[in-house]
Amino acid sequence: MGGWDYRVVKRKSQLGDAYVIYEVSFDDAGVPQHVSSDPILPVGEDLDDLKSNLKWMLEAIENPLFELPEVISDKVFNPFVHPAYNYEASEATDEKP
């Protein structure tokens, strides 16, 4: 039966090696079919959902390291910038509302 799972990937980063989690989908034979283009952040609709997602991410550590496709693995990973964060430093201000 196909499905998806979190998998740990060793990436080259600006600081050296970094271990991050990706979402991977598999076909019925267990062959990887799709992988998220960026590492996955722990999120949840509420605290219980967040807790469940963190649990699944921790379980991913028990699986063998996943090899990313070259199109993703050739990019240098910046651990301080994630596409999920859409924050411009120029928007920051010290002014109080």
The structural domains of the chain, with segments of one domain joined by +, span 3-70
Banded pLDDT at 81 (limits 50, 70, 90): low
Which position has the higher pLDDT, 7 or 74?
A: 7
Using the predicted structure, report yes or no on whether residue 19 has a pLDDT greater than 80: yes
Structure tokens at 30: 């267990």
Q: Is 10 exposed, middle or buried (0-12, 13-18, 19+ CB in 10 A)?
A: middle
Banded pLDDT at 92 (limits 50, 70, 90): very low
Whole-angstrom Cα distance, residue 48 to residue 74? Answer: 36
3-state secondary structure of 21: strand
Structure tokens at 80: 């301080």
Q: What is the pLDDT of residue 75?
A: 58
Lowest mean pLDDT among 24-28, 30-34, 52-56, 77-81: 77-81
